[in-house]
């Protein structure tokens, strides 16, 4: 009995079947007074815009280990208390304490230009303004000559990676350039990246190799991880060092590289104020509407509270945070008395490896055991357009039932992929799913988000589309209510996942990893 439906599910996955929700639930919506009240409250009294202004404009970025994250924790908890919703702050361990102030990077020779620059997270600062030349990472590095070759970088700002041949967005390039031009640029980019990787492999690999730059005692290290969008750069975390690590825009990085290679002797003046402060407490925020009949069974609304530091973390994941807060407020205002307990988890340290949600799963096995469903939102501002069954064989039975509670105009825009292939494993739903508990992504469009705001300095308030956020809040609240009221438990049978091309075998189910409770050594 167990194997027969699993084989059938594998065939469905292989066919990449995607069914519109209206096909699964033809009589939309279920006439439910709580959902009607949710819809009316959001239409008349939405709090999303003032909440977004407070979180994104006033508090701003929420990098783990910073004062911004701590302020966000206090603010989220205070809003729930104002709304009469029970809330707690759960300390889950410690993380790197970091303070960052002014960061100014100027080209001072052969001409003056202020550069678009950001410190990488947890990087040291400069201890006051410094001026130094710019140098390119040497060619011909080997394990035998690395010490002598890196010695030539002493006191210089090192360009540690190759420049892009063009900073034009690929979509525009492909639309407007000749095909042979696109092919040539792609070839140049690929060759430069392969040569760079080989250079670092010779001295210990991409991560360890960059760390070895410290042997040359540079003034700092410069990098640029272009996002393939106009003016957007991925800005993440520094490798352990005692010198500043600075991210530059694609355009400014290319400028410095060309000047250095042509012999124009570029020089920078850098004033970067930052310091590590030692381990600091790291915490989740958990809000709760208790269950009236089945308090030991749970529905979880899930979103990570932390962000990277170069912008305000608006779409990653301010939007998810705001949607889940608003969904809980809507349920409270609608007078919801759910059969099962509804929790909202605002997780710490997602960007450092799903730390907060993994810690919650480890610390609360009773929630994992009693979980009816978790609904996670972690990308962008556009309306939710897809819900994948995440490899759960019978997900369609329940999701189809729950989505019948969702207003017709919202449900009709959502595609269900069943039982799902676990295509996107990189967010907090994975912390529950790996333990076999039902957890789903409320998925918005990915392309523009990935290119322009995901982990970039462009992830700001102005990118939000509040019409879509209001719709997503109603969706989250309606799904939570429907799952909480369902007379039956969500089955946990697993489907056979699609074949992994690397092995020729079905992909393995997600495996749980332990939560990181302490920061890495500096």
Q: Are 487 and 349 contacting, i.e. CB atoms less than 8 angstroms apart? A: no
pTM: 0.93
What six digits make up the tokens of 281?
């407490």
What six digits make up the tokens of 143?
């394990």
The DSSP call for residue 513 is -
Phi-psi region of 500 (alpha: psi -120 to 50; beta: other; left: phi over 0): beta
Q: Which pLDDT belongs to residue 31?
A: 86
234: phi then psi, degrees, rounded to nearest 5: -75, 130
The architecture (CATH level 2) of 36-96+279-389+422-500 comes to 3-Layer(aba) Sandwich (3.40)
Confidence of residue 28 (pLDDT cuts 50, 70, 90): very low
Q: Which pLDDT belongs to residue 373?
A: 98
Average pLDDT estimate for 140-160: 91
How far apart are the C-alpha atoms of 315 and 232, rounded to whole Å?
14
> 224-256: per-residue pLDDT in tens?
999 999 999 999 999 989 999 999 999 999 999
Q: Are 51 and 323 contacting, i.e. CB atoms less than 8 angstroms apart? A: no
Q: Which long-range contacts (CB under 8 A, 24 or more apart) does 141-148 make?
A: 141/199, 141/202, 141/203, 142/202, 142/203, 143/202, 143/203, 146/202, 146/203, 146/212, 146/215, 147/215
Question: Is the pLDDT at 482 greater than 60, yes or no?
Answer: yes
Percent of the chain with pLDDT over 90: 85
Average pLDDT estimate for 482-508: 95
Q: Which pLDDT belongs to residue 18?
A: 40
> 347-385: per-residue pLDDT in tens?
999 999 999 999 999 999 999 999 999 999 999 889 999
How far apart are the C-alpha atoms of 196 and 88, rounded to whole Å?
48
**All structural domains of the chain with their residue ranges:** 36-96+279-389+422-500, 111-265
Query: Residue with structure tokens 């209510």?
Result: 481
- How far is CA 75 from each of CA 50, 133, 259, 481, rounded to the nearest angstrom? 13, 44, 47, 25
User: Pick the residue with more confidence: 81 or 500?
Assistant: 81
Top CATH class, 111-265: alpha beta
**Across-strand partners of 136?**
159
């Amino acid at each position: 009995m167990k194997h027969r439906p699993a084989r059938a599910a594998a065939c469905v996955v292989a066919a990449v079947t995607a069914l519109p929700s209206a096909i699964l639930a033809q009589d939309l919506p279920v006439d439910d007074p709580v959902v009607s009240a949710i819809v009316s409250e959001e239409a008349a009294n939405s709090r999303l815009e003032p909440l977004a202004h407070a979180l994104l404009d006033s508090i701003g970025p929420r990098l783990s280990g910073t004062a911004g994250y701590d302020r966000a924790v206090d603010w989220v908890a205070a809003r729930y208390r104002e709304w009469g919703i029970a809330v707690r702050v759960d300390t889950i361990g410690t993380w790197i304490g970091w303070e960052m102030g002014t960061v100014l990077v100027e080209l001072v020779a052969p001409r003056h230009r202020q550069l678009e620059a950001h410190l990488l997270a947890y990087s040291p600062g400069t201890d006051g303004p410094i001026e130094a030349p710019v140098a390119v990472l040497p060619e011909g590095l080997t394990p035998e000559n690395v010490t002598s070759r890196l010695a030539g970088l002493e006191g210089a700002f090192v360009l540690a990676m190759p420049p892009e041949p063009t900073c034009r967005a690929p979509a525009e390039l492909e639309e407007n350039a000749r095909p042979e031009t696109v092919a040539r640029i792609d070839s140049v980019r690929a060759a430069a990246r392969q040569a760079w990787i080989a250079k670092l492999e010779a001295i210990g690999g991409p991560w360890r190799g960059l760390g070895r730059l410290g042997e040359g005692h540079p003034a700092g290290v410069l990098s640029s991880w272009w996002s393939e969008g106009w003016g957007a750069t991925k800005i993440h975390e520094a490798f352990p060092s005692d010198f500043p690590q600075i991210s530059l825009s694609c355009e400014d990085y290319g400028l410095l590289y060309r000047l250095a290679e042509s012999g124009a002797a570029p020089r920078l003046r850098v004033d970067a104020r930052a310091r590590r402060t030692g381990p600091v407490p790291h915490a989740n925020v958990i809000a709760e509407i208790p269950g009236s009949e089945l308090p030991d069974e749970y529905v979880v609304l899930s979103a990570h509270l932390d962000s990277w530091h170069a912008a305000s973390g608006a779409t990653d994941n301010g939007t998810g945070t705001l949607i889940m807060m608003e969904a809980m407020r809507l349920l409270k205002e609608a007078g919801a008395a759910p059969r099962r307990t509804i929790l909202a988890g605002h997780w710490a340290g997602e960007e450092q490896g799903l730390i907060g949600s993994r810690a919650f799963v480890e610390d609360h096995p009773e929630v994992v055991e009693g979980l009816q469903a978790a609904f996670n939102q972690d990308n962008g501002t556009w309306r939710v357009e897809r819900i994948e069954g995440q490899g759960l064989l019978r997900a369609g039975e329940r999701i189809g039932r729950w989505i019948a509670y969702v207003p017709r105009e919202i449900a009709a825009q959502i595609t269900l992929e069943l039982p799902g292939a676990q295509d996107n494993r990189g967010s907090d739903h994975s912390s529950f799913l790996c333990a076999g508990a039902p957890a789903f992504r409320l998925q918005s469009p990915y392309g523009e988000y990935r290119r322009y705001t995901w982990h970039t300095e462009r992830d700001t308030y102005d990118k939000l589309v509040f019409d879509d956020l209001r719709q997503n809040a109603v969706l989250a609240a309606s799904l939570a209510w429907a799952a909480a009221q369902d007379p039956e438990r969500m089955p946990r049978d697993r489907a056979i996942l699609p074949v992994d091309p690397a092995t020729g075998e079905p992909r393995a189910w997600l495996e749980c990893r332990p939560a990181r409770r302490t920061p890495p050594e500096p």
